[in-house]
């Protein structure tokens, strides 16, 4: 039986996508509202497993590129995504059977839903990141051989641009320059592929999982302990690992700055309560990337570091961090596919200049014995 994305599903999806954004990828609130309006007008959107599609069905990836802050300023209508889709269809001389997602984290969980609602197409329940990353090539689609080209960009004024190259990294570079010239925020259509290929390269069922995460968290109410318990319950038997807690405490020494168009910086969390003698440093570049204690690295990308507001249990975006904010820092082990050597070539911590090796988050959990959320970090 086909799942349908209705307004309630959208609300849960938005909450879950914030966790999978790992502090980045923007607040989906605006697109959440737009998706609900479209569903109210045109009806629920079918959500289909990639394995329900016929091999020859043709799928297009719809996303936003640019600064989340500018996305809000530009106030896209949703028709930019349709224009991008139609221009890609024209370039490829075929019609899309379904829409899929570039990344499930943050704001980009919603362009496929909004586009599908406005075009009467289904959304395929998968994505290419299983979280959020800042660049187009940081996807399973790229790592396992799918061409991003042609990349179609469409701005809120209706202007569109087509970029063609056999190199996905070159597509990313050219796209970033063009996107900046087009106002810093564009809708994109890219990575067109047959369903048979999507079944091989996509991370399956991340929409349903994100929705379940969000539903569980919303049912927990504004209680960080219940949020963590419910989150653990949803994730422990999923493609992600069971999350664990690094520290709870207060944000101090927060530094944020822009470099090469990316929001970078670091902050410390000084432990409180049971963690009063602990201090952990978090580094970020669009997303939270690294946690360390002194010189000892505790965990790095591609595992997901989430900073939760201790008062609500909800994720705190990097741009919303404030000094003296009370937080929990938790880690969600990433899907195994992100640890494949081909993925590590593009998303390993060395790609961000933060570490020259990767240690899975579970190794830290092993050091903590049973991974009790109240166990302090030891070394």
Asked whether residue 215 is domain-assigned, the answer is: no
Containing structural domain, residue 137: 3-204
Asked whether residue 375 is domain-assigned, the answer is: no
pLDDT score recorded for residue 1: 61
CATH number of the domain bearing residue 341:
2.40.390.10
> Do 275 and 147 share a structural domain?
no
> Do 111 and 252 share a structural domain?
no
> Do 141 and 92 share a structural domain?
yes
Sign of CA dihedral 202, 161, 167, 348: negative
> Do 236 and 173 share a structural domain?
no
Count of Cβ atoms closer than 10 Å to residue 43 Cβ: 12
Residue 184 CA to residue 370 CA, distance in Å, equals 46
> Do 235 and 323 share a structural domain?
yes
> Do 267 and 338 share a structural domain?
yes
> Do 144 and 39 share a structural domain?
yes
Residue 228 CA to residue 224 CA, distance in Å, equals 6
For residues 38 and 334, the answer to whether their CB atoms sit within 8 Å is no
> Do 130 and 34 share a structural domain?
yes
Domain boundary (145, 171, 204) is at: 204
Asked whether residue 50 is domain-assigned, the answer is: yes
Q: What is the pTM of this model?
A: 0.94
Domain boundary (176, 204, 232) is at: 204
Asked whether residue 378 is domain-assigned, the answer is: no
CATH number of the domain bearing residue 159:
3.40.1610.10
Residue 248 CA to residue 231 CA, distance in Å, equals 17
Asked whether residue 374 is domain-assigned, the answer is: no
> Do 261 and 131 share a structural domain?
no
Which of 309, 363, 297, 268 shows the shortest CA–CA distance to 371?
A: 363
- For the chain, 379 residues long, give each residue's pLDDT as a single digit of tens: 679 999 999 999 999 999 999 999 999 999 999 999 999 999 999 999 999 999 999 999 999 998 776 766 767 788 999 999 999 999 999 999 999 999 999 999 999 999 999 999 999 999 999 999 999 999 999 999 999 999 999 998 889 999 999 999 999 999 999 999 998 899 999 999 999 999 999 999 999 999 999 999 999 999 999 999 999 999 998 999 999 999 999 999 999 988 776 789 999 999 999 999 999 999 999 999 999 999 999 999 999 999 999 999 999 999 999 999 999 999 999 999 999 999 999 999 999 999 999 989 988 656 644 444 433 332 2
Asked whether residue 213 is domain-assigned, the answer is: no
Residue 241 CA to residue 243 CA, distance in Å, equals 6
> Do 136 and 97 share a structural domain?
yes
Sheet containing 262-271: give its strands across: 296-300, 287-293, 279-285, 262-271, 244-259, 326-332, 304-309
DSSP string, 177-227: HHHHHTTSEEEEEEEEEEHHHHHHHSEETHHHHHHHHHHHHHHH-S-HHHH
Count of domains forming the chain: 2
> Do 9 and 150 share a structural domain?
yes
Output b/e per residue, 283-298; b: 16+ Cβ within 10 A. bbbbbbbbbbbeeebb
> Do 245 and 183 share a structural domain?
no
Domain boundary (153, 171, 204) is at: 204
């Amino acid at each position: 039986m086909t799942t349908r994305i209705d307004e309630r599903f959208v609300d849960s999806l938005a909450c879950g996508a914030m966790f999978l954004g790992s502090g980045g990828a923007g607040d989906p609130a605006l697109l959440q509202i737009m998706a609900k309006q479209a569903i109210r007008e045109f009806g629920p959107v079918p959500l289909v497993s990639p394995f329900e599609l016929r091999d020859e069905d043709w799928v297009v990836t719809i996303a936003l590129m640019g600064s989340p802050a500018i996305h809000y300023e530009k106030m896209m209508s949703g028709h930019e995504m349709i224009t991008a889709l139609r221009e890609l269809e024209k370039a490829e001389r075929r019609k899309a059977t379904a829409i899929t997602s570039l990344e499930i984290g943050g704001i980009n969980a919603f362009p496929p839903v909004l586009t599908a609602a406005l075009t009467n197409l289904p959304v395929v329940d998968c994505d290419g990141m299983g979280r959020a990353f800042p660049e187009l090539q940081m996807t399973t689609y790229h790592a396992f051989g799918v061409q991003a080209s042609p990349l179609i960009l469409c701005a809120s004024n209706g202007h569109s641009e087509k970029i063609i190259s056999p190199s996905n990294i070159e597509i990313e570079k050219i796209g970033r320059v063009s996107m900046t010239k087009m106002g810093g925020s564009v809708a994109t259509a890219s990575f067109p592929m047959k369903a048979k290929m999507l079944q091989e390269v996509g991370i399956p069922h991340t929409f349903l999982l994100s929705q379940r995460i969000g539903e569980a968290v919303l049912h927990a109410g504004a209680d960080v302990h219940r949020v963590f318990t419910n989150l653990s319950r949803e994730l422990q038997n999923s493609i992600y690992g069971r999350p664990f807690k690094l520290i709870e405490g207060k944000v101090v020494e927060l530094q944020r700055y822009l470099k090469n168009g990316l929001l970078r910086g670091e902050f410390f969390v000084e432990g409180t309560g049971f963690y009063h003698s602990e201090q952990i440093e978090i580094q970020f570049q669009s997303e939270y990337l690294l946690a360390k204690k002194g010189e000892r690295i505790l965990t790095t990308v591609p595992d997901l570091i989430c900073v939760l507001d201790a008062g609500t249990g909800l994720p705190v975006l990097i741009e919303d961090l404030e000094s003296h904010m009370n937080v929990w820092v938790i880690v969600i082990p990433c899907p195994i596919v992100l640890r494949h050597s081909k993925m590590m070539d593009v998303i390993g911590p060395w790609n961000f200049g933060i570490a020259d090796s990767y240690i899975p988050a579970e190794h830290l959990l092993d050091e903590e014995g049973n991974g009790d959320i109240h166990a302090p970090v030891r070394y």
